[in-house]
Chains A and B, each alone.
Chain A
Amino acid sequence: MKSDVKLLGAWPSPYVLRVRIALNMKSVDYEFHEERFPDKSPLLLKSNPIHKKIPVLIHKDKPLSESLIIVQYVDDVWSSASPILPSDPYDRAMARFWADYIDQTLYPTMKSIRGAADQEGKNRLIEEVREGLALLEDVFKSSSKGKGFYGGDQIGLLDIALGCFLGWLRVVETVNGVKLLNQTNTPELLKWADRFCAHAAVKDVMPETGRLVEFSKTLPK
């Protein structure tokens, strides 16, 4: 079935997951093209010549890249259903700030745990991730305003920006024998994580932790 929405991606990628969740929230029909790494398809190279990275959304033959930019685009175009960005400009700024923090600081730190030189290095990085999650626990309390998600009643930008990393976060927990989300330090995020993963827009596309653990073993350090 030909659709005018195509998504170039790969099942383990949290950035691709962001776009899938956004499209699901808007009930958009799309074709998913799984990239077979390390080879990059000609379509990917043509559609994202500058970064040559996934995700790439192709809407009516026009390509878009950068996951959060694509999510905002999806929110703009399919604007009648399930808003993703908050409506208040200050809330939008806070969501963007924390999404940027996750991309600039939290996830890079998490990713570097695997390649750390020694256990001491690993422990330091794990501690940094814990500190970041503690910040995001506080943000959850103010952003959710007593509801289930950062976006309130419904999943919003920051839920998607953080939630996409839950699979990989669980890989870090499994491989290192630690609990990054736990009842003591992050009680709200612990509950939020289950809610997020059970959400209709997320549950069929969130990769299974066991599968990600196996996949991570194939990655170079």
Chain B
Amino acid sequence: MMEDVKVFGLWASPFTQRVVWALKLKGVNYEYIGEDLFNKSNLLLQYNPVYKKVPVLVHDGKPIAESMVILQYIDETWPQTPLLPQDAYQRANVLFWSKFIDEKTVDMMKFFRYDGEEQEKAMKENWESLRVMEKESGLSEKKFIGGNRIGLADLALGWVAHTLEAMGDVIGVKFITPDAFPHLHSWMGNFLEIPAIKNNLPPHEHAVEYFTEKRKMFLAMNYHHHHH
């Protein structure tokens, strides 16, 4: 029986990328449908009426929204290359960090949207979030978050390894330096070496070009917001 797996997404979005990486790690074939967030397809609106957002996974016609819900579904449906530990306590630990990281993701991108004082505040919050992860998520003992193999929490954090870097390049800031965050910095290197990740990253220049345009748009919005 042919498995029919579709992903509705936005290539530049951390939330979409997690889903793509999970499918690639497990060797699951899928059809990718790129969405234009300013002109959402009827199918997307039909599959995610509650939030009208990407990513959405559709498996044999049945839709699932919310990236972390999708990731757990993928892990439970295609058990090869497991993304969660077998041990119940260790599993709860990885789920804790996955939630922590997921909940920080939108906030951690705020620095890119703002300027002036708001941007400074957002950047300080980023450093604080990274400090917590550096110190508490167990990266001083293990190669990945919660274990020695890539898992759910690593996929949730993966965006910092390339998207945050690209955003940082556009603004002129580097968050994860080996001096400030040695464990996160090592983790980034390990994460990017995994073939399913390495082969499924947008080229850095492409991301920088995309975010340069986005930055112009945000600055224009801020200008109008402050000057109407």
Query: Which residues of A are interface residues toward B (Cβ below 8 A)?
Result: 49-50, 59, 62, 64-66, 69-70, 72-73, 76-77, 89-90, 92-94, 96-97, 100-101, 135
Contact = CB atoms under 8 A, between A and B. Distances in A.
A66 B73 contact: no
Contacts of A101: 50
A100 to B, nearest CB: 6
A96 B69 contact: yes
Contacts of A77: 88
A72 B95 contact: yes
Contacts, number: 55
Interface residues of B, number: 23
Contact of B65 (A50, A64, A97, A135): A97
Contacts of A73: 88-89, 91-92
Nearest to B87: A76
SS of B interface (majority): helix
B64 A93 contact: yes
Contact of A89 (B65, B66, B76, B89): B76
Most buried by B among A59, A77, A89, A100: A89
Most buried by A among B59, B68, B76: B76
B161 to A, nearest CB: 22
In the A-B complex, list the 7 residue pairs whose CB atoms are closest, starting with the nearest. A76-B88, A93-B73, A89-B76, A73-B92, A96-B69, A93-B64, A69-B95
A96 B89 contact: no
B72 A50 contact: no
Interface of B: 50, 59, 62, 64-66, 68-70, 72-73, 76-77, 88-89, 91-92, 95-96, 99-100, 132, 136
A66 B50 CA distance: 24
A50 B64 contact: no
B141 to A, nearest CB: 16
Nearest to B132: A50
Nearest to A101: B50
A83 to B, nearest CB: 14
Contacts of A64: 89, 92, 96
A62 B64 contact: no
A135 B51 CA distance: 12
A90 B62 contact: yes
Given A65-B96, A97-B66, A89 B77 contact: yes
A27 to B, nearest CB: 18
A131 to B, nearest CB: 11
B52 to A, nearest CB: 13
A100 B96 contact: no
B76 to A, nearest CB: 4
B69 A62 contact: no
Most buried by A among B64, B73, B92: B92
A194 B20 CA distance: 43
Given A65-B96, A73-B89, A92 B76 contact: yes
Given A50-B132, A73-B89, A77-B88, A66 B72 contact: no
Contacts of B88: 73, 76-77
Given A70-B92, A77-B88, A97 B72 contact: no
A49 B136 contact: yes
A77 B89 CA distance: 9
Contacts of A72: 92, 95
